[in-house]
Structure 1
Amino acid sequence: MRNVPNYLHPYIIFIFVFIFFPSFGVYAKTLSATESLTISNNKTIVSRNETFELGFFTPGTSSRWYLGIWYSKIPTRTYVWVANRDNPLSHPNGSLKISSDNNLVIFDHSSDTPVWSTNLTVGTMRSPLVAELLDNGNFVLRDSNNNNNEYLWQSFDFPTDTLLPDMKLGWDKKTGLDRVLRSWRNPEDPSSGDFSVKLETRGFPEYYVFNKESIIYRSGPWIGNRFSCVPEMKPIDYMVYIFVASNEEVTYSYQMTKPDVYSILSVTSTGNIQRRNWIETAQTWKPLWYQPKDICDKYKQCGSYGYGDSNTIPNCNCIKGFERRNEQEWALRDDSAGCVRKTRLSCDGRDGFVVLKKMKLPDTTATVLDRGIGLKECEAKCLQDCNCTAYANTDIRDGGSGCVIWKGGLLDIRSYANGGQDLYVKLAAADLDVKITSHGRILGSSIGVAIFLLIISIITFGFWKRKQKRSITIQTPNVDQVRSQDLLINEVILTSYSYISEESKTEDLELPLMEFESLAMATNRFSVANMLGQGGFGIVYKGILPDGKEIAVKRLSTMSLQGTDEFKNEVRLIARLQHINLVRLLGCCVEKGEKMLIYEYLENLSLDSHLFDKIRRSTLNWQKRFDIINGIARGLLYLHQDSRFRIIHRDLKASNVLLDKNMTPKISDFGMARIFGRDETEANTRKVVGTYGYMAPEYAMDGIFSMKSDVFSFGVLLLEIITGKRSKGFYNSNRDLNLLDFVWRYWKEGKGIETVDPIIIDSSSSALRTVHEILRCIQIGLLCVQERAEDRPVMSTVMVMLGSETTAIPQPKQPGFCAGRSLLETELSSGTQRDDELSVNQITLSVIDAR
């Protein structure tokens, strides 16, 4: 710089710093009235602790621009607030500034019009205004001379889909605002979606999740330390929950006690409300809990005076003292009609209460509260009111306090294994438990003694009969005699036990039993015209019951290799499984040598009938396919993690995924499924069952199956949905052994998009966001079909990757290619599938190894 004039030195230094340190001058702590934030200069505002950052962004592959806030310190871009979510900028020609009328405004300079504004009417200010991003993520507009937390406007009053620490959900009398969370339309579109979360301020406050205008889930009321329907809200050392219910506000919020822990509550684009924590070591957001989880969480699932229990069959039950309102509807698993009282209340002081333990309290919109009295006074108050139907504590801490009373029907109740609280339901005296009198105790004792003497008599008689057959020359019993007597005693005991066990098995199969003739009439005598499809286990027919309800009847072929054991297995499993993405079993029939299952009728048949049909596949645009992928993943996650049992399906494929009228996918055919214990991760079978082309290598070759073998099948199915090609459509082709080889080769060459079904590309060629989403799904599919089981993700991780555009996805390793035909396949196949989709349906003997 020796020959450069002195007056040019500052400019040269500025240019040098700007080129080699671009962050210098790009970030700011505040925005003054004389400054602007534009897309072109890539300038952002960061909080003083550098936790949060505000600026313009384009989500995923979208070409639209939004002003938003995200975590600055987290490498996975996580947006927590969006200003112009429903009015994006279509061109990168916009700016944020403080207007002359003292409002924050986003201008579209292409049309010189505002697309978003704070819409304040503050008038003339003595001091200039300044916008600042606070350390908790709150973007505020304030007087530049006022630092006393007095804001003219703040983003915390207008949340989008995420509740940050210190942000409030609910109603504030002072501002007149009712703060609501609303989902994104999809992971790449932050516009207002269909799902919202609102805190109901009437009665006993709780929050509701809405799908448009319909309630789909509620949290249960705040009971002192948590919402009653969220048992996962346990005390945590890094988080404090705050609930305020007063004349000034009804709000819920939370605070973090450790600054290095990040936790957010959000509503997803699929309608779940979830809490996630950032895990630094794994560099990912991990779900701490989410709702709704199962069918018992569905709003009003069991109707009035019915309650859900995921551990019973059916899942809906009537409260003691009540009975089903409509037996026929309950038999077909339509439980929404609920229950009615067996005996009317007398209201003369003779009524009493039954206590239901660990319950989700009923809908609290119309309740009467008295936080100043205890449980005894609450009981007396309910007895005095003829309209009172139930009562409970309002606060479960320190043994319980307060009183909440329900009048009218009790709706949306469920039981929990852990969580919930006691609910006291009023019953007529005739329906209450009758205390055992001394006479009853004597009678019971007498019966017990008689049974005992009967057993002794049987054993003695057995000894005598055996002794008659023995030679009486032996005077002293030897060791063999003693053993034979022990065996006789054991035989009597085991016979009794076997009888009890058989009864238990019968109870396990408790489902509506339908008569053969009724099903024959419903299916027009199982006519060909009523056939819906045919598989390795038999034919499925469409049927119509006398009341007009449509059903699907699976009639097991007499030549099928699925015997009584497999039949019972499918009945037991499906009857226990209740999830929106699992097929619903309505009943069964075992009569005249026939074995039949009755399912809900799904109008759009199976996924393969659409995916591989030249005409129907044209209706499957990318959004529908993506929704189907997500639905299958949710169903499989429920089987692996959230159901009462851990279920390994073992035959997940396109033909075993059915579609309802809304194209919602439902996993079906559990004839080959297996139950795992919670501490079991892997099992070994001597005979392989399933469908080649979907089998994991370790299962097809060595008979080892686990959750990861289902994950492999899911990965194959995901790639089929994306490519529109069968998993074995490339066998005998020039270069590729099968679909996995085909996709893997193109992926390695950086041409993954060329494997995609052309119909998807044609219908979404203008959406770069969609292309990015498709490529992510291909990558997820390849992760699921990796050769080594330990390299594959579990379904909970798959759900996170599918649901978040910002989650980092690792690069896949080579898939397992052992899906070609073999002599084994030809010998063991059922022979009733398509030539390119052969199922191996064998009775198996499993050896469970706990790990």
Structure 2
Amino acid sequence: MKGVANYHHHPYTFIFIIFVFILVPSSSVSANTFSATESLTISNNKTIVSRNGTFELGFFTPGSTSRWYLGIWYKKISTRTYVWVANRDNPLTHPNATLKISDNNLVIYDHSDTPIWSTNLTVETSRSSLVAELLANGNFVLRHDPPEEEFLWQSFDFPTDTLLPEMKLGWDKKTGFNRVLRSWRSQEDPSSGDFSTKLETRGFPEYYVFNKESIVYRSGPWIGNRFSCVPEMKPVEYMVYTFIASNEEVTYAYKMIKPDVYSTLSLSSTGTIQRRTWIEASQSWKQLWYQPKDICDNYKQCGSYGYCDSNTLPNCNGIRGFEEGNEKEEEWALRDDSAGYVRKTRLSCDGTDGFVMLKRMKLPDTSATVVDRGIGLKECEAKCLRDCNCTAYANTDVRDGGSGCVIWNGGLWDIRSYANGGQDLYVKLASADIDVKITSHGGIIGSSIGVTILLLISIIIFGYWKRKQKSVITIQTPTVDQVRSEDLLINQVVLTSKRYISSENKTEDLELPLMEFETLSMATNRFSDANMLGQGGFGIVYKGTLPDGKEIAVKRLSKMSLQGTDEFKNEVRLIARLQHVNLVRLLGCCVDKGEKMLIYEYLENLSLDSHLFDKIRRSTLNWQKRFEITNGIARGLLYLHQDSRFRIIHRDLKASNVLLDKNMTPKISDFGMARIFGQDETEANTRKVVGTYGYMAPEYAMDGIFSMKSDVFSFGVLLLEIISGKRSKGFYNSNRDLNLLGFVWRYWKEGKGIEIVDQIIMDSSSSALQTHEIMRCIQIGLLCVQERAEDRPVMSSVMVMLGSETTAIPQPKRPGYCVGRNLNEAESSSSTQRDDELTVNQITLSVIHAR
């Protein structure tokens, strides 16, 4: 009551307090506009917010820098995400700057009242006052007040690295604007980076990604519902795409149907185009798709008339009817534009030439094409046959069975094949090079004699197979909903049926040979110690030879291992469906007499660790061989994470789980600890931490959180082992460094990264090019083992960095590292403890600081 009495004694006090609240600037301007009489300054921390509260505009400093920028970010999203920067190449270095409307322009003045950024409008306007407004879609505009039909200036005409909904990318022929994306220099530096996009309007329009002046990737043309080279760009319920190709504009844009869903298209500092959507439940961005994703997305990877296939070695293949040219081997290795394939037989141009149909292909570069949207595929074929310069044709629109015609004249560049997606491409060949003639409708007209012979051969092979096939095992693949539960991975292995239910609820054939115990016992000389190839927590692996002379590897699951049955079911379920050149191939299994065994292809060169850490064998691993092994492992891991039927997290990637065939091609093995993710899942949590000390990511070892990024961490450790020739586990030979990652990080920060490289590599790799490549790989390895999972790249980005000398690589942050309590315990192939025994209490986290 005393306070109330004071107000009565001093009636002007209350009025004064109200007046002060009105005058004192708040930290955020509630309105979405400001006029010529207002301003935004760094010192008072003022911002403006869009009317719907989605976007906010103000000054900011990225990361730990002392540079200030004017930018726009999502206000409703917990993770600060910048979508536009005004003065990206003219940062403010003093926290006393102002944004105001001056001389009919938006202008940023620094602390000395010097303009450092302006909208640079030259049109005089005195009809009404001007106002700046942040619209609900994130567009920052300068307009008349009251509003008129067109804006005087808009930020949507000057994008930085992000394309927002309703923002157009491409050419506006009326205004002359060419709206492009240009990457940030790094995660903490919004200045213009080396990567940019550009829309090529000639021929069949498509987008290119440039690294400075060199093309590194292209999107492919718009084929009615997506860009042809982005098969993952599928329709979603909350977003619609638009592509306009007219006399007035050639642009791409998208619009959100649901107002509370946020999605962006951005160009990263490493040159990756990525589509991301904000997931409210997990408070994180989900990556829907990204390009480029592997080595086959590199521009002109396989030269003229060649196509790239990420599932073959080598990746480059010639189209039927073409053979390798006579260019020098080193030119082909460097993928010089002149390298590639040439015709075996010249075209006759007399009407007798034909076509070979290539299914699921990335269409060739379209900058020199002729487009006729008014005709169909049959007329397109006839048109190509009449034109002697025509080398291929395809539809321009894949919807409703296909329509339109695009014709290539001259060389065919930058083609790849897809397991799913892509488009049919018809390549012209001389009649002598066509085994079967393919009509415009794709029907195959073969000779009756050939069909008869083929049928007889098929009957003979089928009969032989039926005699050898005694029984089959069927795998019941879990649905996406089922795999969300950790326990549902341990599903029933059904031995009586020849069918299985797929994730799409379709019944499909999947037969896996079931072998008898006696057969495997004889093949391994009764599981003789002399045939033993290796041993781990799962049991023992033996070399075996079947009666027909075929060599196999037999994994005999230990009866003492409590994980044995689970590993068996898990590995059969996963590997039986995986087909990739860099994954070990499962040939069969055995469930007999209380035994559980898996039969694999035999790989002559055993495991990577048997070479990498052996004093004699390591001498055969020069840098070129180690780099090829690294790329193969990366391709296999990318397949697991992205291109297989399910997203698969390996959880135990290490040198002993990488096997090498006779050509030293690496193959990832041991999927007993792997987990399947649904397409909507990005991470999972478990109380059962399994894996191997020295390769485990910190968030997995400490909190049981695993994701694709935990596999990326293991890959980074493995890459640094390959480069240094030193084991990650058991690296305690220095008073200064407790582990391999600390050792590499210290030398890297001191500018002496080359000193961590295995001396055998340095003795055999003297060229500056190889040294540069080695240093890039060290940097990539350190990026993969960064302490925070969100800082690590995904495997598609790793593949791009490994496959391109021109791709910019960010600077790594300090690594995280986990070690076991007993630092002197012996190296094992895999943890032999039970899952629930390997707890957080047995693991410590060491953060390595640079010295």
TM-score, with length taken from structure 1:
0.63
Corresponding residue number in structure 2 for 1:87:
90
| Aligned equivalent of 1:47, options 30, 45, 50 | 50
| Rounded Cα–Cα distance in structure 1 between residues aligned with 2:550 and 2:88 | 61
In the other structure, the counterpart of 1:244 is 244
State the aligned residue count: 626
Residue 187, structure 1, aligned to residue 190, structure 2: no
Residue 342 of structure 2 is matched in structure 1 by 340
Could you tell me which residue of structure 2 aligns to residue 128 of structure 1?
A: 129
Q: How far, CA to CA, are the matches of 1:672 and 1:316 in structure 2?
A: 20
The amino acid of 2:406's aligned partner reads V
Cα gap change, 1:273 to 1:709, in 2 (>3 Å): closer
Compute the RMSD of aligned alpha carbons. 5.4
Q: Alpha carbons of 1:633 and 1:446: their partners in 2 closer, same or farther (altered >3 Å)?
A: closer
Q: Give the structure 2 partner of residue 516 of structure 1.
A: none
Look up the match of 1:144.
Answer: 145
The residue matched to 1:28 in structure 2 has which SS? coil
Q: Which residue of 2 aligns with 1:462?
A: none
**Of the two, which has the highest radius of gyration?**
1
1:8-32 C-alpha deviation (Å, 9 max, x unpaired): 543312435788x945x64332110
Q: Distance in 1 between matches of 2:173 and 2:164?
A: 21
- Paired residue secondary structure (1:378): helix
Letter in 2 for 1:121: T
Q: What is the alpha-carbon distance in structure 2 between the residues aligned to residue 216 and residue 97 of structure 1?
A: 40
Deviations 1:267-306 (A, max 9, x none): 0001100010001111111111100000111100011000
Cα deviation, residue 437, structure 1: 3.8
Could you give the per-residue CA deviations for residues 91-131 of structure 1, whole angstroms, max 9, x where no partner exists?
011101111x2011001132x21000000011141111100
Alignment partner, residue 507 of structure 2: none
- SS at 2:15's partner residue? helix
Letter paired with 1:396:
V
In structure 2, the partner of 1:160 is: 160
Specify the alignment match of 2:277 in structure 1. Answer: 277
Single out whichever of 369-378 and 241-250 deviates more from structure 2: 369-378
Match of 2:369 among 364, 367, 391: 367
Residue 324 of structure 1 deviates from its aligned partner by 1.5
Residue 135 of structure 2 aligns with an amino acid whose one-letter code is: L
- Residue 31 (structure 1) aligns with: 34
SS in 1 for 2:240: strand
2:533 counterpart residue number: none
Q: Shift of residue 309 of structure 1?
A: 1.3
1:11 alignment partner in structure 2: 16
What's the counterpart of residue 229 of structure 1?
229
For residue 771 of structure 1, what is the aligned residue in structure 2? none
Distance 1:498 1:420, change over 3 A: farther
2:432 aligns with 430
Contact 1:292 1:298 in 2 (8 A): yes
Match of 1:674 among 661, 669, 673: 669
**Mapped partners of 1:696, 1:103: distance in 2:** 51
SS in 2 for 1:242: strand
Whether the 8 Å contact between 1:306 and 1:316 is mirrored in structure 2 is: yes
- Cα pair distance change 1:443/1:155, threshold 3 Å: closer
C-alpha displacement of 1:693: 4.6
CA contact (8 A) 1:718 1:781 kept: no
Matches of 2:358 and 2:720, distance apart in 1: 48
Matched, 1:119 2:124: no
Say if 1:202 and 1:262 are closer, same or farther in 2 by CA, change over 3 A. Answer: same
User: Would the aligned equivalents of 2:131 and 2:142 in 1 still touch at CA under 8 Å?
Assistant: yes
Query: Once the two structures are superposed, what CA deviation does each residue of 1:168-224 show, in whole Å capped at 9, x if it has no partner?
Result: 000001211100100000011100000111221111011111111111100100001
**Distance in 2 separating the partners of 1:209 and 1:426:** 29
Cα separation, 2, equivalents of 1:262 and 1:697: 30
1:356 and 1:124 mapped to 2: Cα distance? 59
Distance verdict in 2 for CA 1:598–1:440, change over 3 Å: farther
Aligned to 1:356: 358
Amino acid of the residue matched to residue 180 of structure 1?
Answer: V
Q: Does the CA-based 8 Å contact 2:371-2:405 persist in structure 1?
A: yes
Q: What's 2:484 paired with? A: none
Q: Equivalent residue of 2:346, what SS?
A: coil
Match of 2:299 in 1: 299
8 Å CA contact 1:205–1:222 kept in 2: the answer is yes
How do 1:429-508 and structure 2 match up within 5 A?
429-434=431-436, 436-440=446-450, 502=550
Aligned match of 1:69 in 68, 72, 79? Answer: 72
8 Å Cα contact 2:712-2:785 kept in structure 1? no
Whether the aligned pair in 1 keeps the contact of 2:698 and 2:787 (CA below 8 Å) is no
* In 2: Cα distance, 1:422 partner to 1:821 partner: 58
Taking a change above 3 Å as real, the CA distance of residues 707 and 279 of structure 1, as seen in their structure-2 partners, is closer
The answer to whether the 8 A contact 1:782-1:815 is kept is: no
The code of the aligned residue for 1:13 comes to: I
**Equivalent residue number for residue 398 of structure 2:** 396
1:409–1:125: structure 2 CA closer, same or farther, 3 Å change rule? Answer: same
Q: Structure 2 length normalisation: TM-score?
A: 0.63
Report the Cα distance in structure 2 between the residues aligned to 1:171 and 1:436, rounded to whole angstroms.
48
SS in structure 2 at match of 1:174: coil
Check conservation: 1:647, 1:673, Cα contact below 8 A.
no
Letter in 1 for 2:390: C
Q: Are the counterparts in 2 of residues 209 and 215 from structure 1 also a CA contact under 8 Å? A: yes
Note the C-alpha offset of 1:35.
Answer: 1.0
Q: Is the 8 A contact 2:294 2:796 kept in 1?
A: no
SS at match of 2:393: strand
**Partner residue, 1:510:** none
Q: Distance in 1 between matches of 2:783 and 2:307?
A: 42
Structure 1 unaligned segments of length 5 or more: list them.
459-486, 506-563, 575-582, 584-592, 608-630, 657-667, 683-688, 744-754, 764-773, 785-791, 804-811, 826-839, 845-851
SS at match of 2:7: coil
Contact map agreement 2:219 2:230 (CA 8 A) in 1? yes
Write the distance in 2 (CA, Å) between the matches of 1:706 and 1:154.
40
Shift of 1:433: 2.0
Structure 2 gap ranges (5+) = 1-5, 437-444, 469-514, 524-544, 554-600, 678-689, 753-778, 802-814, 833-851
Give 1:632 deviation, angstroms. Answer: 13
SS of the residue 2:380 aligns to: helix
2:217 counterpart residue number: 217
**CA separation in 2, counterparts of 1:36 and 1:328?**
64
CA distance in 1: counterparts of 2:323 and 2:35, whole angstroms:
68
State yes or no: 1:58 paired with 2:53: no
CA change 1:503–1:179 in 2 (3 A) is farther
Change (3 A) 1:327 1:503: farther
| Superposed displacement of residue 250, structure 1 | 0.3
Aligned CA distance change for structure 1 residues 152 and 675 (closer, same or farther; 3 Å): farther
Q: Is the 8 A contact 2:694 2:819 kept in 1?
A: no
The SS at the match of 1:296 is helix
Letter in 1 for 2:346: R
Q: 1:727 to 1:244 in 2, by over 3 A?
A: same
Match of 1:316 in 2: 316
Do the aligned partners of 2:712 and 2:794 also contact (CA within 8 Å) in 1? no
Separation of aligned partners in 2, 1:122 and 1:204? 36
Whether the 8 Å contact between 1:570 and 1:669 is mirrored in structure 2 is: no
Structure 1 residue 449: deviation in Å? 8.4
The residue identity in structure 2 corresponding to 1:409 is G
Query: How far, CA to CA, are the matches of 1:55 and 1:677 in structure 2?
Result: 51
- C-alpha distance 366-328 of structure 1, shift in aligned 2 (>3 A): closer
| Other structure's SS at 2:18 match | helix
How many angstroms does 1:418 deviate by? 1.3
The residue matched to 1:376 in structure 2 has which SS? helix
Query: Is the contact made by 1:71 and 1:79 (CA closer than 8 Å) also made in structure 2?
Result: yes
1:172 match: 172
Partner in structure 2 of residue 751 of structure 1: none
